[in-house]
Amino acid sequence: MSSVAEPARPRHAGLAALGRVLAEPMGLFGLALVVLVIVSAVFADQLAAYNPTRMMPRDRFADPGWTHLMGTDHLGRDLFARVLHGGRIALWVALVATSISLALGAVLGLIAGYGPRWLDNLLILIFDAVKSFPTVMLALTLVTLFGPSLTAVMVVVVLVATPSYARVIRTQTMALKTSEFILAARAMGAGMGRILRVHVLPNVIGPVLILASMDIPVVIAIEAGMSFLGLGVRPPTPSWGAILNDGFTNIRETPWIAVAGGLPVILTTLGFTFLGETLRDVFDPRLRREG
């Protein structure tokens, strides 16, 4: 009977954690916003009645209504369709860039925290050097070298985020490497790779995953900001930053374009931030004790 009951424990633990998140008003609100953004991006083709790049000059600067739920821009393109498809771009960049940053940060942080002192000092020097570059200047440099593209946006995000994740994992790895179970594994002949992969990584990755979920709106803001400046996606590809740029350019004609570009960025930021804060409070034992 014990063999039947044991596999159910992780499921019950996950349901209990989800229940604690839903019990918090801020967590419930954040989760609802995140689900709304993800669903609207995944099912953009089904939810939008128009092609996001289709130009209809006769309908330019149309106000929100049943025909165009969020109005149209200066080229007559449906803003609702452009916002939904722009969400795909934003989430794709955020998820891919954050995943790459987390993977690189985990590898470098584990090596820095467990490796020799000279290697730790070298990696810390590299982290500090990369972090010292202002994000805007780094973006301008990469765009000058490679041209405006989504690849340039993701490279900027990876360079900015990786040192932060690496530092967090390095600190936790240094705190764990003198633990009894690590010393016992080393005494039994386990190599460095196995110790880091089996014993250290599972104990340090949890808080970093929560940190990464809170960084997703930051990545979305970077993508929107670069697209706003013309350094991200190229027209006519829909992007929240490009829509916001069109809104400020044509603000005298209609305010709805700026609202359509800014509102999804605000809602996405609030959703991931509230959800990340709640996850941190739920899963961090130190914060629960302090509460």
- Tens digit of pLDDT for each residue in 265-286? 999 999 988 888 888 777 764 5
Going by the DSSP 8-state scheme, the letter that residue 72 receives in this structure is: B
Q: Which residues pair with 72 in a beta bridge?
A: 78
Q: In whole angstroms, what is the distance from residue 195 CA to residue 189 CA?
A: 10
Write down the pLDDT at residue 138: 80
236 preceded by cis ω (within 30°)? Answer: yes
pLDDT of residue 11: 52
Query: Which residue range(s) make up the domain with 279?
Result: 2-290
Exposed/middle/buried for residue 139 (C-beta within 10 Å: 0-12, 13-18, 19+): buried
Per residue in 1-21, pLDDT (tens digit) is 444 444 444 455 556 666 777
- How does residue 43 score in pLDDT terms, banded at 50, 70 and 90? very high
The number of domains in the chain is 1
**Average pLDDT of the segment spanning 220-233:** 85
Inform me whether the pLDDT recorded for 82 exceeds 90. Answer: yes
Full-model pTM = 0.81
The more confident residue out of 213 and 9 is: 213
Contacts of 219 (CB under 8 A, 6+ apart): 93, 94, 97, 98, 157, 161
Distances, alpha carbon 108 to alpha carbons 5, 23, 62, in Å: 38, 37, 52
CATH of the domain at 258: 1.10.3720.10
